[in-house]
A and B are shown apart, each in its own frame.
Chain A
Amino acid sequence: MAASETILQVENLVKHFPIRQGIMFKRQIGEVKAVDGVSFELHRGETLGIVGESGCGKSTLAKLLMRLETPTAGRAKLNGRDIFKMSGAELRKLRRNVQMVMQDPYTSLNPRMTVGDIIGEPYEIHTEVAPKGDRQRRVQELLELVGLNPEHINRYPHQFSGGQRQRIGIARALALRPEVIVCDEPVSALDVSIQAQVINLLEKLQDEFRLSYIFIAHDLSVVRHISDRVGVMYLGKLVEVGTEDEIYSRPTHPYTQALLSAVPMPDPDARAHRDVIRLEGDVPSPANPPSGCRFRTRCWKAQEKCAIEEPPLILRPAADNHPSACHFAEQRHVVA
């Protein structure tokens, strides 16, 4: 992918959720640091994959980018304008420009609405996109675009399979011709044979409309396939960012290495000669993250320095020269 203009620039985004206790007078007794200082750029026509385990803050990040949550601190600039400072007409335009595809195609579609109403609903609010008489035709075009039969416009969600429903969700996201689509685990609820169909559809649409995707998923193979660049999150922070090849072939952060090593490979012959890294224990609570480097409690390389000094996400010239948040960043080949 040729380097192109930056469409979305995220700077030091922070979201802390308060933990309150008490019945009448709720006292704040702590906070969950769901997203804690995340910065990245998204270019036009590019897919940025975000990977990480449950609780690492990737879905909160998605909600922030959709402006469904107000950040505790930080900025996110779409085409140079901070989305958290927008209001009125500008905010409406933002809502058009950034759309979302959700994980669960069963709960993200209203069962009482027809497919035509679901996909056409955005036009009710953004009337300027499609004049009233034109809507049905637009919706049918969208259905065709995502590979569904345009004649099924009056059917209800339950008449479709999981993969088809996900296509409806994608058509709805496309209705307002957005520039950025945030995909939060868009294929993880689908069967293997259907998953490939939806991934191919997302790639086709990206080429056709020059869409930029933020692709959030826990399946590292899917993310490698679809992404140009990948960010790895752990406990609210990005620990490593790089091109798809840098992250998968030349990872330098121990967490990335452990994550990759844990992915089972569909190749029984690889069993014997894979580099196996097994992490001990579970992810610490984001309400009380470890001092210094957040990964140090599970890291085999941890030294005293890691507990005191938080490693910044910077270029590490000694190790492949892509951003990595480890004091002891070092290349290790883990994908056989």
Chain B
Amino acid sequence: MTDHHLLEVDNLFVEFHTRDGVAKVINGVSYYLDAGETLAVLGESGSGKSVTAQAIMGILDIPPGKIASGRILYKGQDLLKMPKDERRKIRGAEIAMIFQDALSALNPVFTVGHQIAETLRRRLGMSKADATKKAVELMEQVKIPGARTRVKDYPHQFSGGMRQRVMIAMALAMDPKVLIADEPTTALDVTVQAQIMDLLAELRRDLNMGMILITHDLGVVADVADRIAVMYAGRIVEHADVHSLYKNPAHPYSKGLLESIPRLDDKGTALATIKGLPPNLMRPPSGCAFHPRCKYAQEICVTTTPPLLELGMERTSACHFAKELLDGRI
């Protein structure tokens, strides 16, 4: 490994200032990404997984959002300290992003070819003809059938899966080193989801990109990810390689999630549940944010925020009892 990672988020804090008060949505998130690997960021709504990605991209709405502290290092350079126009050179070119809802991410009044070519013309100063030619190539790369004719179609003329492919083509236009995929298949049917996930895995391998996959779907993570970071209430509560985490989770929240999903290969009996609701980030619980829902919670969990415990093999867990949980002692 070189002296620095391709992308590194270091102790990031983000808050939203609203009429009702300050919501601390990201509370000290750190993770890294290397070329050619897939990091899954797993979490439920409001856990801060998308906000972290928006901070990396520099598309966070400021205000109401505010990056309180932390660093985001790309190839060792802090993006947060960079002048605006330099940051712009990285956004979309070095680090690209695709979104959940392709229909609202694409402009309905321009052809998809125009939208893919726009980046190339603006950034590389390509002529219209050249840019369109490259757009066709990109559409072929993401396996849109009949790309030569479809380049002139509008977003509404594509199916959900094909629209997602168009968005991927746009993201690939500048040969990014990092691709952030924010719930890329949540709106799609399973057979189409499988096609898109296969495509993303193939592109990541062929182009040697680092990919951050943001999702709430434990199945998708198991299928494609190398490492996984589980987020809860704006913190990473567990980080591990996928195999270890699924086999033996080291945080009660990840354990609860794994136990609460119905299985395709087994009808099973009553599902285990995580009691209660995710916390209100305006008024987060004291100590460990998960303690009101945790069945292992002790006195210390109410009073003290658990530090990130190193468990070896690049595993960490933000639980006072992570070691006991791993050894099956609780």
Interface residues of A (CB under 8 A from B): 53-54, 161-164, 191-197, 199-200, 203, 218, 220-222, 224-226, 244-245, 248, 258-271, 278-279, 281-283, 335-336
Known: A268-B222, A270-B222. Contact between A244 and B262, CB under 8 A? Answer: no
A contact residues around B264 at 8 Å (CB) = 220-221, 224, 248, 260, 263, 265, 335
Known: A195-B260, A282-B161. Contact between A267 and B246, CB under 8 A? Answer: yes
A-B contact list, 17 entries, CB within 8 Å: A53-B192, A54-B160, A191-B44, A193-B257, A197-B273, A218-B190, A220-B264, A221-B219, A221-B264, A225-B271, A248-B264, A258-B191, A261-B194, A262-B190, A262-B194, A278-B194, A278-B195
Query: Which of B191, B219, B273 is within 8 Å of A193, CB to CB?
Result: B273
CB proximity of B289 to chain A, nearest CB, Å: 14
CB proximity of A106 to chain B, nearest CB, Å: 12
Known: A193-B44, A200-B273, A270-B222. Contact between A279 and B191, CB under 8 A? Answer: yes
Known: A264-B219, A265-B265, A266-B258. Contact between A282 and B192, CB under 8 A? Answer: yes
Q: Do B216 and A191 touch across chains, with their CB atoms under 8 A apart?
A: yes
Known: A203-B270, A263-B190, A278-B195. Contact between A193 and B246, CB under 8 A? Answer: no
Q: Do A266 and B277 touch across chains, with their CB atoms under 8 A apart?
A: no
A interface: dominant SS: helix
Most chain A CB inside 10 Å of its own CB: which residue of B258, B270, B275: B270
B contact residues around A162 at 8 Å (CB) = 45
Q: Does B79 sit within 8 A of A, measured CB to CB?
A: no
Q: Do B222 and A267 touch across chains, with their CB atoms under 8 A apart?
A: yes
Who on chain A is nearest to B193 by CB? A262
Q: Does B304 sit within 8 A of A, measured CB to CB?
A: no
Q: In the bound complex, how far is the Cα of B258 from the Cα of A320, in angstroms?
A: 32
Query: Which of A203, A248, A259 is within 8 Å of B190, CB to CB?
Result: A259
A contact residues around B274 at 8 Å (CB) = 193, 196
CB proximity of B231 to chain A, nearest CB, Å: 12
B contact residues around A225 at 8 Å (CB) = 262-263, 267-268, 271
Q: Do A264 and B270 touch across chains, with their CB atoms under 8 A apart?
A: no
Query: Which of A224, A270, A282 is within 8 Å of B267, CB to CB?
Result: A224
Who on chain A is nearest to B232 by CB? A193
Q: Considering the complex, which residues of chain B in the window 261-305 have a beta carbon less than 8 Å from any beta carbon of chain A?
A: 261-265, 267-268, 270-275, 277-278
Q: Considering the complex, which residues of chain B in the window 152-207 have a beta carbon less than 8 Å from any beta carbon of chain A?
A: 159-162, 189-195, 197-198
Q: Does B223 sit within 8 A of A, measured CB to CB?
A: yes
CB proximity of B278 to chain A, nearest CB, Å: 7
A contact residues around B246 at 8 Å (CB) = 266-269
A contact residues around B197 at 8 Å (CB) = 264
CB proximity of B142 to chain A, nearest CB, Å: 14
- A-B complex: 7 closest residue pairs judged by Cβ atoms: A264-B219, A225-B262, A53-B189, A196-B260, A262-B194, A191-B44, A196-B271
Who on chain B is nearest to A262 by CB? B194
CB proximity of B101 to chain A, nearest CB, Å: 14
Contact indicator per residue, chain B 216-235, by CB within 8 Å of chain A (1) or not (0): 11111111010000000000
Q: Do B243 and A269 touch across chains, with their CB atoms under 8 A apart?
A: yes
Most chain A CB inside 10 Å of its own CB: which residue of B44, B220, B260: B260
Q: Does B28 sit within 8 A of A, measured CB to CB?
A: no
CB proximity of B164 to chain A, nearest CB, Å: 12
Who on chain B is nearest to A54 by CB? B189
Known: A196-B273, A266-B218. Contact between A221 and B261, CB under 8 A? Answer: yes
Q: In the bound complex, how far is the Cα of B247 from the Cα of A195, in angstroms?
A: 22
Q: In the bound complex, how far is the Cα of B223 from the Cα of A336, in angstroms?
A: 13
Q: In the bound complex, how far is the Cα of B40 from the Cα of A268, in angstroms?
A: 13
Q: Does B36 sit within 8 A of A, measured CB to CB?
A: no
A contact residues around B237 at 8 Å (CB) = none
B contact residues around A197 at 8 Å (CB) = 273, 275
CB proximity of A64 to chain B, nearest CB, Å: 22
Who on chain B is nearest to A260 by CB? B264
Q: Do A224 and B44 touch across chains, with their CB atoms under 8 A apart?
A: no
Q: In the bound complex, how far is the Cα of B225 from the Cα of A336, in angstroms?
A: 19
Most chain A CB inside 10 Å of its own CB: which residue of B145, B198, B222, B258: B222
Q: Do A200 and B270 touch across chains, with their CB atoms under 8 A apart?
A: yes
CB proximity of B163 to chain A, nearest CB, Å: 11
Q: Does B256 sit within 8 A of A, measured CB to CB?
A: yes
Known: A192-B261, A225-B271, A260-B264. Contact between A266 and B219, CB under 8 A? Answer: yes
CB proximity of B126 to chain A, nearest CB, Å: 31
Contact indicator per residue, chain B 26-56, by CB within 8 Å of chain A (1) or not (0): 0000000000000000001100000000000
Q: In the bound complex, how far is the Cα of B282 from the Cα of A158, in angstroms?
A: 17
B contact residues around A336 at 8 Å (CB) = 265
Q: Do A263 and B260 touch across chains, with their CB atoms under 8 A apart?
A: no
Who on chain B is nearest to A191 by CB? B44
Q: In the bound complex, how far is the Cα of B189 from the Cα of A194, in angstroms?
A: 22
A contact residues around B322 at 8 Å (CB) = none
B contact residues around A269 at 8 Å (CB) = 243, 246-247
Q: In the bound complex, how far is the Cα of B278 from the Cα of A267, in angstroms?
A: 25
CB proximity of A183 to chain B, nearest CB, Å: 15
A contact residues around B275 at 8 Å (CB) = 197
Q: Do A264 and B265 touch across chains, with their CB atoms under 8 A apart?
A: no
Q: Do A278 and B198 touch across chains, with their CB atoms under 8 A apart?
A: yes
Q: In the bound complex, how far is the Cα of B277 from the Cα of A6, in angstroms?
A: 39
Who on chain B is nearest to A261 by CB? B194
Q: Do B222 and A264 touch across chains, with their CB atoms under 8 A apart?
A: yes
Q: In the bound complex, how far is the Cα of B75 from the Cα of A63, in angstroms?
A: 55
Q: In the bound complex, how far is the Cα of B258 from the Cα of A225, in angstroms?
A: 15
Who on chain B is nearest to A298 by CB? B191
Question: Assuming A282-B161, A335-B265, what are 10 further A-B pairs, CB within 8 angstroms?
Answer: A164-B277, A193-B274, A218-B190, A248-B267, A261-B194, A263-B190, A263-B219, A264-B197, A266-B221, A271-B222
Q: In the bound complex, how far is the Cα of B277 from the Cα of A265, in angstroms?
A: 25
Query: Which of B195, B220, B278 is within 8 Å of A191, CB to CB?
Result: B278
B contact residues around A196 at 8 Å (CB) = 260-262, 271-274
Q: Do B256 and A193 touch across chains, with their CB atoms under 8 A apart?
A: yes
CB proximity of A21 to chain B, nearest CB, Å: 18
